Amino acid sequence: MIDLLHTPEASRRLESIIRPGLLCAFDFDGTLAPIVPQPHLAVLPAELRALLVQVSAHAPVAIITGRSIDDIHHRLGFDPDFIVGNHGLEGVPGWENTAAQHAETCQRWKAELEAAFADMGADPGIVIEDKRFSLSVHYRQAANPGAAEQALDRLFTRLHPIPRIVWGKMVFNLMPDNAGHKGTALAQLMKVTGASNAIYVGDDITDEDVFRLRRPDVLSVRIEHSTESAAECYLDKPEDMAQLLGVLIERMRAAGAANWVQAPAPITAA
């Protein structure tokens, strides 16, 4: 029995989900990488990188993040099978045609926000992160974060079209209202890969779109317990990720699981 997830029910679910056909998907910030004061400082720790490479020998690995693909790729240090950026808007196979429309909308929002900040008297601690297909407005370093949060919340209602707001840790994520999200992205990855089941680990409000799927073939794991989360089970702290990855590797290796989406190496004549 695996006691990492605290309850016998959660442990049984984890044991039942780890079998050939598993898709392993993870959030990045706060899940694989520690939360840092400035987004550009985040990087995947070497220990987890090595473990994820081992996981990928037995199952497809997907990183589903709020960051853009261009931003996240160099922070990983390895090539997962799938990188999905912008909370599910970028990098999902089969959804490429809507990307240009989302990019146009985000550029319009950015121009409107920059004009509004100039009129209000810009606080250098409020930063717009342009992810092309979505925007993230960070206010962790604002002079008065509480006041900045309220002002930004009011400001977003004046944007055209009104965005879907996904709250994060001291950040507002602005997304087109008709766009997909992390939950629909995971479902699409399962469809295109033919995965029979999946595990997803996340830590934030943006991951609740996956947690709320409540599919019997998807095990959702949250970093740190929250009574308000829809996740099935949780890890006590981010440092427990290494132990969870170790369990995945051990059980999939014992089951003889192989990553079926990776093409086998060609056989060359001696």
Instruction: Give the model confidence (pLDDT) of 166-218 as tens digits.
Output: 888 889 999 888 778 899 999 999 999 999 999 999 998 889 999 999 999 99
pLDDT score recorded for residue 264: 60
pLDDT score recorded for residue 260: 97
Handedness of CA 260, 53, 230, 251 (dihedral sign): positive
Instruction: Say what percent of the chain tops pLDDT 90.
Output: 65
| pLDDT band at 119; cut points 50, 70, 90 | confident
Closest by CA to 172, choosing from 138, 216, 124, 143, is 138
Of residues 5 and 105, which shows the higher confidence score?
105
pTM above 0.75, yes or no: yes
Of residues 102 and 126, which shows the higher confidence score?
126
Average pLDDT value over all residues in the chain: 90
The CA-atom distances, in angstroms, between 61 and each of 30, 69, 116, 174, 258 are 18, 15, 41, 26, 12
Q: What is the mean pLDDT of residues 99-108?
A: 86
pLDDT score recorded for residue 169: 80
Is residue 86 scored above 90 in pLDDT?
no
pLDDT score recorded for residue 270: 44
**Under DSSP, is residue 84 helix (H, G, I), strand (E, B) or coil?**
strand
Q: In order of start, what are the domains of the chain with their CATH numbers? A: 8-95+180-254 (3.40.50.1000), 97-175 (3.30.70.1020)
Are residues 260 and 30 in contact, defined by beta-carbon separation less than 8 angstroms?
Answer: no
Q: Which residues are catalytic?
A: 27
Alpha-carbon gap, residue 124 to 36, rounded angstroms: 18
Handedness of CA 84, 58, 214, 244 (dihedral sign): negative
**C-alpha 11: how far from chain center:** 23
- The pLDDT tens digits of the residues spanning 33-50 come to 998 888 888 999 999 999
